[in-house]
Amino acid sequence: MRSLSLVFLLLAMSAYAQTTAPTVAEAQEFMDKAETQLADLSVKVNRASWVQENFITDDTQAMAADAIDQVTAVTTQLVEQAKRFEGLKLPPDLSRKFMLLKLSLTAPAPKDAALRREMTEIGVSLDADYGKGKYCRKTGECLDITAIEKLMSTNRNPEELKEVWTGWHAIAPPMRQRYSRFVDLSNQGAREIGFKDTGALWRAGYDMKPEEFSADLERLWNQVKPLYLSLHTYVRWKLAEKYGPNLVPPDGPIPAHLLGNPWAQEWGNIYDLLGVQEDKGGVNLTELLKKKNLDPKGMVKYGEGFFTSMGFAPLPETFWQRSLFTKPADRDVVCHASAWDLDNLDDLRVKMCIQVRGTDFVTIHHELGHNFYQRAYKDQPFLFKNGANDGFHEAIGDAIALAITPEYLHKVGLLENVPQASNDIPELLKQALDRVAFLPFGLMIDQWRWKVFSGEIAPADYNKSWWALRLKYQGVAPPVARSEADFDPGAKYHVAANVPYTRYFLAHILEFQFYRALCRESGYKGPLNRCTFYGSKEAGAKFNKMLAIGQSKPWPEALEALTGERQTDAGALLEYFAPLKQWLDEQNKGKKVGW
């Protein structure tokens, strides 16, 4: 009897130990260990993923899957263990770390090891399928996405464009069943850590309730929608003039294959079809780059130079030794441009199949924005080594890219003479074709995905719902009939690779807020669209102050540090494009707006 009583006593003591209220000190100790563990694992994942995307083989896929599986398992376990501290009043910094730990997985996985492993392997395989994707023509020529983007940017034959568009989208149907399974597994993981589904988890990462965030996106879209409709109306009737009303209906959606891009997400490549009279001496950035005989690495040097002109330190020598600047001739790589911080300190890199053209020059400035942001917050604790929100990370380089004006090109020796600014419309239209045309696309990707995660869009309706949303937001339509035998979302990298996309919509709003603030800080006076802050140490110091905050504070505080504003707002974007909006509305008189 006595020995039995002792067992009961020990069990009771154990239960008591597990139910005693945790202390702040214990929470701090737990978090310190968690950050150390996650920092170490993140470097392993970064290295494995870098190799996998640069050398796509079965072996590298397996290595990346192993690393991702390990960090997913540990993070899932830590989130579970962190529940012990729920309800404990913690210092603000520590409380924020617990929140960010819970939100740290974009693909939360089930606790069950076999299911978690299955989900990881599916994710890696979808990323690899996209990277290996090719369309082989009847001639035997096989085109990867880099070649397809190049072809669609210049080809004006609608039948050939339709063929290539259809050919690229044919890479995706084999992904469909695996993607559906990935959604199910990720949702299970999200529910296990307290979220309704993975989409709800994603929306929780913006320092507001998920439903408040959805409402804020709608507010921003309604701010910019009139400008987009004016642009859409103008582009549609100009394309109808080029291709005829049978191909481009004057009051309907625009066929997606005619907009100069495989996804119709940016329209800058069809500027030449819009019949805009430019002043003599208009700037053609691609021609300027070729005239200088620049190679890809030389283009990246210009991007670095913009940041160093503002007072930032040059990129480390390892950046130039370890980055990928051009597509290798002997192997498949994931060519989608990306910026990397492999060791969370100084091992910064870009991976990009650079072509000598204006759009890539702009993209380089964007990607380096990630790298300089990463280095600015490198001294923060691990869970604060990130953008204030993911829209911030995308907006940094885009704010710099807006400052690629003729005056900047002249200052760096690419342009001999700055043209007279007697007519800003051509340049504003070029900018709008990329930045304004992108807005509804940037919004609809995750509108689709959140509905997929919530179950509102069933697997049987993936493609139908995708095109319904593209029609609703973008006013574009597929060039050929689509069915559920297709899986057109998978032909977009960010869907195949499970990268949240609302960040890009937010970035296209925030970049103008950042840009206007940097222009003001540099002392610039004049029309917003003509500003460059290249060389302004004052702007650079204010910029770095925001960047160094990382994710240590709620994003409104980071926004306020640079702009003095605490709300994302499209006012700066609308100010920038105000002369164009007025011009478009004059051109569109008598034309049907909308579709």
For the chain, which residues make up each domain, given as ranges? 2-99, 285-423+503-583
Phi, psi of 167 (to 5 degrees): -65, -45
Euclidean distance between CA atoms 499 and 409, whole angstroms: 33
Q: Is the Cβ–Cβ distance between 98 and 69 less than 8 Å? A: no
Q: Is 394 assigned a catalytic role?
A: yes
For the beta carbon of residue 73, count every other beta carbon within 10 angstroms: 17
pLDDT value at residue 3: 47
Give residues with Cβ within 8 angstroms of 138, minimum separation 6. none
Euclidean distance between CA atoms 530 and 519, whole angstroms: 10
pLDDT value at residue 281: 59
pLDDT value at residue 6: 47
Q: Is 336 assigned a catalytic role?
A: yes
Q: Can you give the pTM of this predicted structure?
A: 0.88
pLDDT value at residue 351: 96
Q: Which of 62, 170, 468, 494 is catalytic?
A: 494
Q: Which of 232, 365, 370, 508 is catalytic?
A: 370
SS3 338: strand
Euclidean distance between CA atoms 475 and 254, whole angstroms: 6
pLDDT value at residue 277: 76
Report the sign of the C-alpha dihedral through residues 324, 126, 437, 563, in that order. negative
Euclidean distance between CA atoms 560 and 558, whole angstroms: 5
Q: Is 370 assigned a catalytic role?
A: yes
pLDDT value at residue 2: 43
pLDDT profile of the chain (595 residues), mean per 10 = 47 52 95 97 95 92 91 91 93 96 90 94 94 92 93 96 97 97 97 94 92 94 98 98 96 97 96 81 86 95 97 97 93 89 96 93 94 97 96 92 92 88 84 96 97 98 98 98 98 95 96 98 93 96 97 97 96 97 96 95
pLDDT value at residue 448: 98
Q: Which of 232, 257, 336, 393 is catalytic?
A: 336
Q: Which of 62, 73, 170, 337 is catalytic?
A: 337
Euclidean distance between CA atoms 366 and 386, whole angstroms: 16
Q: Which of 35, 304, 394, 427 is catalytic?
A: 394
Q: Which of 118, 149, 304, 367 is catalytic?
A: 367
Q: Which of 130, 228, 504, 515 is catalytic?
A: 504
Q: Is 508 assigned a catalytic role?
A: no
Report the sign of the C-alpha dihedral through residues 100, 106, 111, 114, in that order. negative
Q: Is 130 assigned a catalytic role?
A: no
By CB atoms closer than 10 A (0-12, 13-18, 19+), residue 238 is middle
